[in-house]
Amino acid sequence: MQTFAALLLAYIISIFFRSFLSVLATRIMADMNIGATELAVMSSAWFIVFALMQFPVGWALDFYGPRRTVLPLMVVGAIGVCLFPFAPNATVGAVAMGLIGVGCSPMYMGALYVFARNYPPHRFGFLASLLIGFGSIGNLIGTTPLVLSAERFGWRGTMMMLAGLYAIAFVLAAVFLRDPPRIAQRGKGGILSGLGEIVRTPVFWMFVPIVFFSYAIMVALRGLWVAPYLEQVIGLGPWEQGQVALLMSLGMAASAFFIGWVESRFGFAKTVTLAGNVAMAAILIALAVSGVQSAFVAALAFVAIGLCGFSYTILMAHIRPFFRDDLVGRGITLMNFIFIAGAAAVQTGSGWLIDRGKAQGLDAAGAFAQMHWALAAALIASTLVYAFTPSQPRAERPAS
């Protein structure tokens, strides 16, 4: 598909930037002389800017189309990609990560917009999951390959090489990305126009808690804390940390393909999401209760979280039919804003919880257990709210 050819590499890079700091955490913290809170803020800068950009991105997709939305923002992202390898401290690193967030903000949403406009709703979840599955290569790159590259070239040299890959992604987007046909019914107004109609829908608010926490918890664990946890609590070295992160990423990729197939074949979006989130909450509680585990048990727990926690695309597929065609761009980017805003909040909050626990005299195991308890509680509460959402819009339900 042309959309895959245009945006797949760009999306792979976007996924990489969501998670790479976990594997490089020890090196970057030592190089910049920073703690867990500063590292979390640096990572959160990407998520905060990415989240805020969803409003102009959604508006631009509806009014100008994906081509004139994606390409200019990728140019902004290129500035951040080139700046980050030279960042002397966490402040400059956060600025660079924010600029990269601008460049990454339209990549997945541009593809989803094309899918939503060109394909029937029952195919949307499958195509979105397919892109997520292949895009998970970015997570894989950010594991053992990243460790090996950082050991040989340093983390700064490795990030310089990534700038070249980003340039190739821009060329592919410029060559292959095309806009779908324009919609005759196209409202006028500014960036926030149409959002009022969306947020006034009661069902929208039933999705908000699960959208805010489900993806955020998984991406915080994979993107920030898997390597520090394995180092500080289990005592594993960089190579073993990278291996566990790799297995967790493979689990995430497999999950994306599997749940996309289930949604396309059977349409069980809500059931799959509920089951996955309940399982992830149970694993977090087990990690909190058990304290220090063996390396095998800890690795198994993180891989299981990767397998069961990837409800991002299925939630998108679930809510997509509730948006009119002329509001698709703004609707899906509003939901993506909530996904990413949740990731920024959870990453920052989780870093604060770890530092707070250590300041209270807890050892690393106790500090991480405190974080795992908090994440499990948030996930359970949001899943309970989601359980009451309708499976599809009332008008599309079959007559009884």
Mean pLDDT over all residues of the chain?
85
Residue range 222-268, pLDDT digits in tens: 878 888 899 999 998 888 888 888 888 888 878 877 776 776 676 66
- State the pLDDT at residue 384: 95
**pLDDT for 399 beyond 60:** no
Spatial separation of the C-alpha atoms in residues 330 and 342, rounded to whole Å = 18
Percent of the chain exceeding pLDDT 70 equals: 91
Give the residue from 355, 276, 358, 341 showing the smallest Cα distance to 44.
341
Give the residue from 287, 378, 374, 367 showing the smallest Cα distance to 37.
367
Task: Report H helices in 177-311.
Answer: 195-199, 202-220, 226-229, 238-266, 269-290, 295-308
Q: Name the token pair of 98.
A: 């924010």
- State the pLDDT at residue 105: 92
Three-state DSSP class for residue 186: coil
Asked if residues 98 and 46 have their Cβ atoms less than 8 Å apart, the reply is yes
E strand or H helix that includes residue 328: helix 328-359
Mean pLDDT to the nearest integer, 266-284:
85
Give the residue from 263, 242, 251, 281 showing the smallest Cα distance to 372.
281
- State the pLDDT at residue 377: 96
Residue range 310-362, pLDDT digits in tens: 677 778 878 877 887 677 778 888 888 898 889 888 988 998 999 899 899 99
Q: Name the token pair of 338.
A: 């909530």
Spatial separation of the C-alpha atoms in residues 337 and 360, rounded to whole Å = 34
Q: Roughly what angle, to the nearest 10 degrees, separates helices 364-386 and 328-359?
A: 150
Amino acid (one-letter) located at 331: G
DSSP-assigned letter for residue 242: H
Q: Roughly what angle, to the nearest 10 degrees, separates helices 36-64 and 67-83?
A: 160
Residue range 4-48, pLDDT digits in tens: 778 899 999 998 998 788 788 889 999 999 887 888 888 889 988
What angle (nearest 5°) sits at the alpha carbon of residue 376, between those of residues 373 and 378? Answer: 110
- Residue 219: pLDDT band (50, 70, 90) is confident
Q: Name the token pair of 35.
A: 């703690």
**pLDDT for 183 beyond 80:** no
Residue range 89-137, pLDDT digits in tens: 999 999 999 999 999 999 988 888 888 777 776 677 677 778 887 887 8
Residue range 140-179, pLDDT digits in tens: 888 788 989 999 999 999 999 999 999 999 999 999 888 8
- State the pLDDT at residue 263: 66
Give the residue from 129, 135, 183, 179 showing the smallest Cα distance to 317.
129
Q: Is the dihedral of CA 319, 322, 326, 327 positive or negative?
A: negative
Asked if residues 97 and 46 have their Cβ atoms less than 8 Å apart, the reply is yes
- State the pLDDT at residue 397: 43
Spatial separation of the C-alpha atoms in residues 209 and 217, rounded to whole Å = 12
**pLDDT for 398 beyond 70:** no
Q: Is the dihedral of CA 164, 78, 95, 101 positive or negative?
A: negative
Asked if residues 393 and 319 have their Cβ atoms less than 8 Å apart, the reply is no
- State the pLDDT at residue 312: 75
**pLDDT for 373 beyond 80:** yes
- State the pLDDT at residue 171: 94
**pLDDT for 386 beyond 90:** yes
